[in-house]
Structure 1
Amino acid sequence: MNYTEFINAVKEEVKEHLEPDIIVELHTAMKNNGTIRKGLMIGRRGVNVSPAIYLEEFYEQYLKGKSISLLAETIQQIYEQVKVQNSYSCDNIFSYEKVKEKIVYKLIQREANENLLGEVPYEEFLDLALVFYVLLEATPFGNATLLVKNEHLGEWGVSKEEIMKAAEKNTPKLLPLRFEKLANFMYVMTNQPQNLGACTVCYPEACKKARETIGENFYVIPSSIHEMILIPESYGLNRLQLEIMAGEINSEDVEEEEVLSGNVYYYSGKEGRLIL
């Protein structure tokens, strides 16, 4: 059974075990870094926000021998955890006054997202880009979000600078910094939900406070769009070793859509900023 056949079979199996007012549809999405993912969109009639459950990992389990009925049962359980109970008013989304307190930012790679960046407002940051989204709902299992596009700025009657100002205020408040020691010589910087937390290096004073904790300048390895790894300068890794480490993280531990950058950054206390 190929992947397309598998998705259709899982769809029918899942539908049989859900209530009649639950809609199950095939879903294809263009994700970060141009990655295309396919899965199921599952939602209740009358609720206009539905979670997408992607099935690539389930297909791998199927190829290893797991039955479609068992996988469908697992998908049903996931849906019960992540389902959205309430609709979001379209009127609220079209009103800037009603969304401005929920606008936040995230970091993505510039080069791999050229097509996307042609459709959205963004701010350059080193070799990366800060893009903006409306945080509709945050849960332990994921977030309900709306990516801010150029067309939204027209509908809202605001500029990119206004969006950036709102995101600079909201992001550290809604998604607070989480900074902790990961190993004897490594630290990790992310947000409290540990979701899209690499952007915490852009929080005011975050890197400065990290330097105070570490006690010296440090290198930053983007381990994914979710977090940054900080390594003290005195640990003695040279540029090649750091780049090899970054490459190994991206190739072995991170899904393609979650890769942020293969570059390594350096925080200079004297300059008070990250440099490439």
Structure 2
Amino acid sequence: MDYESFKDKFVEDLKDRLDEQGADVKVSVNTVNKLNESYEAVTVTPEGSNIGVNIGIDKFYNAMENGRSYDEVVDKAVEVVNSGITQRPDFDIDSLSDYSQMKEKLAMEVVSAEANKEMLETVPHQNMEDMAVVYRFVLNSDDEGRASILVTNQLLENMGVTPEQLHADAMENAPQIKPVEIKGMSEVMAEMMGVEQAEMMGIFPVAPEDEKIFVATVPDKVHGAGVLAYQDFMDQAAERAGGDFYILPSSIHEVLIVPDNGEMGLKDLEAMVKEVNATQVAPADKLTDSVYHYDSQAKIFELGEKFVARQAEKEEEHAEEKGEKSVLGELKAKKEEVAKAPKKETIDKGAKAKGGEAL
């Protein structure tokens, strides 16, 4: 069965199964555009409600292609839909137009500007090198799931809010509802495998000054790379890293901080990021293949390649300045030497001339 045939049959059978259960729902097929991805989905919306459940058709088709029977796939879809409808967040849909209420749920996310080029034309955003800062109203986030709404230009217009006001409010509110967490890699590993196991393997605990890598994210580990846009994040990270540092975009959910202490160069870090993105990060979770740098003295966040170029330029200027001083020093010494020499030469010449006259 090809994808199109599967889709038509799948949607019809899903609707029939839900009807048999007595569910009063509307079933439709829509293209869902999300940051980093878009997919064709079946949208199931209970009658009288503005909130529905989307399930990706391709995921169920792939499940059948990978060996699941068609009936099993439909059963699973019905289960997912029923669960989604039951667990929908309980909020007043009318409040979506009330910015005074919604701004308290405002968070920031950082995504690839290139991968989301078309989407960014429809949403308010700010550029951050080759990334973009976007905004989202987080309606619910817990162990059972997360419900949120991406802020679009149309939504913002309906609310009567400017992009500038949205950004200012997000800068203030996001760190409150999704605070920054910066932990040493040894601490993160200990949390994952258990402190006892980590101690036995000798990877925990580690003195702060001996940490090679730090992990930055948010408590729910969802879209944690957004901390890059927080006002005080760079300085907080610099304090943990002990000064300048590189930023590796592990995913849209977290970033890695590597102290710029000379142990690893930009090329090595770039190669590491590209390999991890290609082999371990799902396309939907990928941020960028770039490496970034923060100069804690100059307070400059920039692409790693820009940092290297800026450093090379500074060194060249320094070398030229040093060279100029050297030349000036030589000229000054020559001048002093010349200033003294003529006096002696004049006396000598005078003596010779006078002697000549005597002869």
The CA deviation at 1:48 is: 1.6
Aligned residue identity for 1:131: V
Tell me whether 123-132 or 172-181 shows the greater mean CA deviation.
Answer: 172-181
Aligned residue identity for 2:288: S
- Matched residue, 2:242: 215
Q: Give the number of equivalent residue pairs.
A: 275
Out of 69, 90, 94, the position equivalent to 2:97 is: 94
The CA deviation at 1:102 is: 1.8
In structure 2, list runs of 5 or more residues that go unmatched.
Answer: 187-202, 204-211, 304-359
Q: Secondary structure at the match of 1:111?
A: coil
Go from structure 1 to structure 2 and tell me whether the alpha carbon gap of 1:78 and 1:253 turns closer, same or farther (over 3 Å shift). Answer: farther
- Matched residue, 2:117: 114
Go from structure 1 to structure 2 and tell me whether the alpha carbon gap of 1:175 and 1:77 turns closer, same or farther (over 3 Å shift). Answer: farther
Go from structure 1 to structure 2 and tell me whether the alpha carbon gap of 1:165 and 1:5 turns closer, same or farther (over 3 Å shift). Answer: same
- Matched residue, 1:226: 253
The CA deviation at 1:200 is: 1.0
Alignment of 1:78-157 (within 5 A): 78-83=80-85, 84-85=87-88, 88-157=91-160
Aligned residue identity for 2:233: A
Aligned residue identity for 1:109: S
* Separation in 2, partners of 1:153, 1:23: 28
- Matched residue, 2:338: none
Alignment of 1:162-177 (within 5 A): 162-177=165-180
Alignment of 1:50-61 (within 5 A): 50-61=52-63
Q: Is residue 2:30 matched to residue 1:27?
A: yes
Go from structure 1 to structure 2 and tell me whether the alpha carbon gap of 1:182 and 1:158 turns closer, same or farther (over 3 Å shift). Answer: same
- Matched residue, 1:5: 5
Asked whether the equivalents of residues 110 and 229 of structure 2 are also in contact (C-alpha less than 8 Å), the reply is: no
Out of 67, 73, 88, the position equivalent to 1:71 is: 73
Asked whether the equivalents of residues 38 and 56 of structure 1 are also in contact (C-alpha less than 8 Å), the reply is: yes
The CA deviation at 1:199 is: 0.8
* Separation in 2, partners of 1:209, 1:82: 39
- Matched residue, 2:353: none
Q: Secondary structure at the match of 1:56?
A: helix
Aligned-residue identity in percent: 27
Structure with the higher fraction of residues in helix conformation: 2
* Separation in 1, partners of 2:76, 2:213: 36
Tell me whether 65-74 or 241-250 shows the greater mean CA deviation.
Answer: 65-74
Tell me whether 236-245 or 249-258 shows the greater mean CA deviation.
Answer: 249-258
- Matched residue, 1:274: 301
- For residues 44-90 of structure 1, what are the alpha-carbon distances to aligned partners after superposition, in whole Å with 9 as ceiling and x for unaligned? 33332123222434333322211122233333444454434466544
Tell me whether 134-143 or 225-234 shows the greater mean CA deviation.
Answer: 134-143
TM-score norm. by structure 1 comes to 0.86
Q: Secondary structure at the match of 1:171?
A: helix
Asked whether the equivalents of residues 110 and 228 of structure 2 are also in contact (C-alpha less than 8 Å), the reply is: no
The CA deviation at 1:162 is: 0.8
Structure with the higher fraction of residues in strand conformation: 1
Moved over 6 A (4+): none
* Separation in 1, partners of 2:65, 2:183: 38
The CA deviation at 1:273 is: 4.4
Go from structure 1 to structure 2 and tell me whether the alpha carbon gap of 1:178 and 1:49 turns closer, same or farther (over 3 Å shift). Answer: farther
- For residues 22-61 of structure 1, what are the alpha-carbon distances to aligned partners after superposition, in whole Å with 9 as ceiling and x for unaligned? 444323212224x331232234333321232224343333
The CA deviation at 1:245 is: 1.5
Higher relative contact order (CA 8 A, sep 6+): 1
- Matched residue, 2:49: 47
The CA deviation at 1:8 is: 3.5
Asked whether the equivalents of residues 32 and 258 of structure 1 are also in contact (C-alpha less than 8 Å), the reply is: no
* Separation in 2, partners of 1:7, 1:186: 46
- Matched residue, 2:230: 203
Tell me whether 102-111 or 10-19 shows the greater mean CA deviation.
Answer: 10-19
Q: Is residue 2:247 matched to residue 1:244?
A: no
